[in-house]
Amino acid sequence: MENNKKTILSGIQPSGAMTLGTYLGALKNWAALSETYDCYFTIVDMHAITARQDPAELRKRTLSQLAQYIACGIDPQNNTLFIQSHVPAHAQLGWVLSCYTMFGELSRMTQFKDKSAKNAENINAGLFTYPSLMAADILLYQADLVPVGDDQKQHIELTRDVAVRFNGVYGDVFKLPEPYIPKIGARIMDLQSPTEKMSKSEISGGGCVLLLDSPDDIMRSFKRAKTDSETSVRHDPAEKPGVSNLMQIYSACTNKSFSAIEDEFAGKGYGDFKQSVGEVVVETLRPIREEALRLIADKSYLETIYAQGAQKAAATANRTLNKVYKKIGFITA
C-alpha cells in the first residue's frame, strides 16, 4: 500500500549532553509527529567531528542520545532512528552536493562565522562545508519538512538553493524541504544568560538544565535563574528576558498561556515563580530520566535499534543516491 504521509527528517549532534532546551524545542515535538508524518530521526555524529571529540566520549554520548530519543517518546517502531555514520550515502551525497554549493554561499553562513570565532585554532574544511553535508542529510530522504530551531533556518534555505540548482540541471531529482518551527518552546534560553540559547556546549555556567540531571540539580538551577530587579511575572522578552524565558519553559511544560501564567503568579514574588517552574520541570523530566538510564544500561537493545534503523534509512537513502549518481554520469555498481 502506498504511503501518502509526508516525510520529516531531523538530527542532533552527540557533541554534548542533551538539554531541557533540546527537549522542549525539538524532542517533545518529534514525539508528536510520527502519527502524521513518516519520520527519520538521526544522531549526526559526522557533523560532531568538525570539532575535536574524545572518541570514547563520543561513542558514549551517541548511545546515550539514542536512549534519550526513545525515552522522550520517539518510538523506534513508528519512527526510523539511526546513526548518521552508519548510512554511507550521507557522506557520498555530501561530496556530490559540495560540488553544487558555491563558495560564497558557504562563506555567508552565520554558524560558520560563529564557530570559527569560537574555535580559531581549528577552522577546518569540514566546518566550512558542513551545510553541504546537512543538505545531503535532508535531500536523501526527500524530506518535506525539517524540524529546526529558528537559528537553523539559514541551512534549510541553502539546502533548497542547492536542490533547485541541481534540479535545474538534471530535472526533478530532489524535493524542496520546508523548515518546521514550533510556536512554543522553539528557543529556550540559558538560565544565567537569558539572551543566549541554552546550549549543551555551554554547561559550565550553571544556566543549562540537562535531561539526566537529578531533581536536586534541576531545582538548584532554577532557584539561581537570573531574573530582574522587578517582582512582576510578565512576558516581555526585550525588557524581561530572564522572566520571559522562565515563562516560556513553564508554558511548554504545562500548556498554559502567558496570560494565564501572569494571572497565576500575580502578586507573588520571583521566589515562588522559580520554585514552581523548577517543580514542573522536575516532574516533566523525571520519567524521561528514569527510562533513559534504564535504556543506557541495555546496550544490546540499543544496538538492535540502531542496526534496524540504519538498514531502513539506507534503503531510502540509496534510492536517492543511485538516482543522483545516474544523473551526474557515474556508473553505478
Give dist(CA 218, CA 279) in Å, integer. 9
Residues near 300 by Cβ (< 8 Å), separated by ≥ 6?
none
Which residues, in sequence order, are bridge partners of residue 145?
Answer: 8, 178
Give dist(CA 287, CA 266) in Å, integer. 31
What residue has cell string 570565532?
A: 117
How is residue 77 written as a grid cell? 517502531
Whether 183 is catalytic is: no
Residue 322 phi/psi, 5° resolution?
Answer: -65, -40
Whether 6 is catalytic is: no
Q: How far apart are the first and last CA of the chain?
A: 29
Whether 115 is catalytic is: yes
Give dist(CA 66, CA 81) in Å, integer. 8
Residues near 202 by Cβ (< 8 Å), separated by ≥ 6?
190, 196, 208
How is residue 163 written as a grid cell? 536542490
Strand 80-83 to 7-12 pairing: unpaired
Active-site position among 113, 153, 175, 200: 200
Residue 39 CB: number of other CB atoms within 10 A?
26
Which residues, in sequence order, are bridge partners of residue 101?
Answer: none
Active-site position among 115, 175, 240, 274: 115
Active-site position among 197, 223, 256, 312: 197
Query: Could you give the residue numbers annotated as active site?
Result: 115, 197, 200
